[in-house]
């Protein structure tokens, strides 16, 4: 299989590195910045092109991985589908072009696969399993995800990439990353109440923290705190009910469930290792990124249905729009 990776920033390089583990895949890079092409060519041994059209004409690829900034996705997805390429795209953050591209992919019989990394994370999959085995209507949860915006990419200014843009801001990215697994665990969102403000002096034109109360169709209720304020990166989750009390602090060894009979905390994933890449928060594991790429390949080669798709995401993006309104 031949795959083009469009956008050779940090995420594009991650996708190339992980896809390179497959000996039957030939990779090509695409980026308009010559400096990025030179880096990928020299460090990863990948042939690069300046445009999709040039790569398609020269290499006749089967699929594309889109790792550009979110606001560019809609047009690139459309071009790839029109070129008869299966598509894997990073999270979009906005719903631009959704209905048109969903229709086009169905008409052409092509895979349109949307990244949702936390649906491939060992801990969140275990949480989903435990929640679904309980009486979800009787459960409440509290979830806090936050990290100071300048610490997201310490090697570049937050104003130089998409999280500085109000349409694709940092808090919106947190919600778009995390709500898919929350919805998968607790059910579709029925009602939302929001408190929000800008608490920092960061050079951004959007609210930097949200306290969100969520009521799900199942009856479950939760509080989600999302921010780009926390100077210490945090991912803290707790779900509680009469028969389930579970806490997670972002890594496998922190996922514990309280055993009512023994009155002790039990580690649920004690032997699960994570792969950490230097430069990113210690809470970021490479394995889910690998697993979702493998799921994309299975979707293309075996017609397997993904855990998350554009239709589900469109519904969720409309909820996020209401949270920000």
Residues 82 and 142 placed together within one structural domain of the fold: no
Residue 298 counted as domain residue = no
Contact by Cβ (8 Å): 46, 73: no
Residue 237 counted as domain residue = yes
Q: How many CA atoms lie within 13 A of 33 on its CB side?
A: 9
Residue 309 counted as domain residue = no
pLDDT value of residue 30: 97
Q: In Å, how far from its chain's centre is CA 13? A: 16
Domain count for the chain: 2
pLDDT value of residue 275: 72
Q: In Å, how far from its chain's centre is CA 122? A: 14
Structural domain harbouring 245: 118-282
Domain CATH for 213: 3.30.360.10
Residue 166 counted as domain residue = yes
Residues 136 and 182 placed together within one structural domain of the fold: yes
Residues 170 and 191 placed together within one structural domain of the fold: yes
DSSP state of 117: G
Residues 135 and 78 placed together within one structural domain of the fold: no
Residues 49 and 108 placed together within one structural domain of the fold: yes
Residues 149 and 272 placed together within one structural domain of the fold: yes
pLDDT by 10s per residue, the chain, length 325: 999 999 999 899 999 999 999 999 999 999 999 999 999 999 999 999 999 999 999 999 999 999 999 999 999 999 999 999 999 999 999 999 999 999 999 999 999 999 999 999 999 999 999 999 999 999 999 999 999 999 998 889 999 989 999 999 999 999 999 999 999 999 999 999 999 999 999 999 999 999 999 999 999 999 999 999 999 999 999 999 999 999 999 989 999 999 988 999 999 987 776 676 665 656 678 899 999 999 999 999 999 999 999 999 999 999 999 999 9
Domain CATH for 40: 3.40.50.720
Sign of the dihedral through C-alpha 151, 155, 159, 161: negative
Residue where one domain finishes, among candidates 114, 131, 154: 114
Beta strands in the chain, from DSSP E residues, in sequence order: 2-6, 26-30, 47-49, 63-66, 86-89, 112-114, 140-146, 189-197, 209-216, 221-227, 234-240, 245-248, 256-259, 264-267
Show the tokens assigned to 230: 């926390």
Residues 126 and 260 placed together within one structural domain of the fold: yes
Residues 140 and 241 placed together within one structural domain of the fold: yes
Q: Which of 239, 127, 237 is nearest to 184 (CA)?
A: 127
Residues 202 and 183 placed together within one structural domain of the fold: yes
Contact by Cβ (8 Å): 79, 270: no
Residue 292 counted as domain residue = no
Residue where one domain finishes, among candidates 92, 114, 136: 114
pLDDT value of residue 254: 94
pLDDT value of residue 272: 73
Residues 105 and 159 placed together within one structural domain of the fold: no
Residues 74 and 169 placed together within one structural domain of the fold: no
Contact by Cβ (8 Å): 58, 83: no
Partners of 210 in beta bridges? 196, 226
Residues 159 and 188 placed together within one structural domain of the fold: yes
Residue where one domain finishes, among candidates 95, 114, 133: 114
CA distance 322 to 273: 38
CA distance 247 to 267: 10
């Amino acid at each position: 299989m031949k795959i083009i990776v469009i956008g050779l920033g940090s995420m594009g390089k991650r996708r190339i590195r992980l896809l390179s583990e497959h000996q039957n895949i030939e990779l090509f890079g695409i980026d308009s910045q010559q400096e990025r092409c030179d880096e990928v060519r020299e460090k990863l041994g990948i042939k690069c092109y300046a445009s999709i059209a040039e790569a398609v004409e020269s290499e006749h690829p089967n699929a594309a991985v889109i790792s550009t900034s979110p606001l560019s996705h809609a047009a690139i997805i459309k071009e790839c589908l029109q070129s008869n390429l299966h598509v894997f795209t990073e999270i979009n953050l906005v719903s631009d072009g959704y209905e048109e591209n969903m229709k086009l992919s169905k008409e052409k019989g092509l895979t349109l696969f949307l990244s949702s990394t936390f649906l491939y994370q060992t801990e969140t999959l275990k949480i989903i399993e435990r929640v679904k085995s309980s009486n979800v209507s009787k459960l409440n949860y509290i979830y806090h995800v936050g990290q100071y915006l300048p610490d997201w990419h310490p090697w570049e200014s937050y104003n130089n990439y998409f999280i500085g843009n109000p349409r694709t801001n940092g808090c919106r990215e947190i919600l778009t990353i995390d709500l898919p697994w929350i919805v998968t665990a607790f059910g579709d969102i029925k009602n939302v109440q929001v408190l929000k403000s800008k608490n920092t002096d960061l050079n951004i034109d959007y609210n930097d923290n949200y306290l969100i109360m969520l009521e799900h169709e199942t009856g479950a209720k939760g509080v989600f705190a999302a921010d780009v304020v926390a100077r210490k990166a945090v991912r803290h989750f707790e779900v509680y009910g009469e028969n389930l009390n579970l806490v997670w602090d972002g890594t496998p060894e922190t996922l514990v469930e309280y055993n009512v009979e023994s009155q002790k905390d039990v580690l649920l994933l004690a032997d699960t290792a994570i792969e950490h890449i230097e430069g990113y928060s210690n809470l970021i594991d490479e394995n889910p990124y690998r697993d979702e790429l493998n799921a994309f390949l299975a979707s293309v080669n075996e017609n397997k249905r993904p855990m998350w798709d554009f239709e589900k995401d469109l519904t969720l993006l409309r909820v996020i729009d209401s949270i920000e309104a």
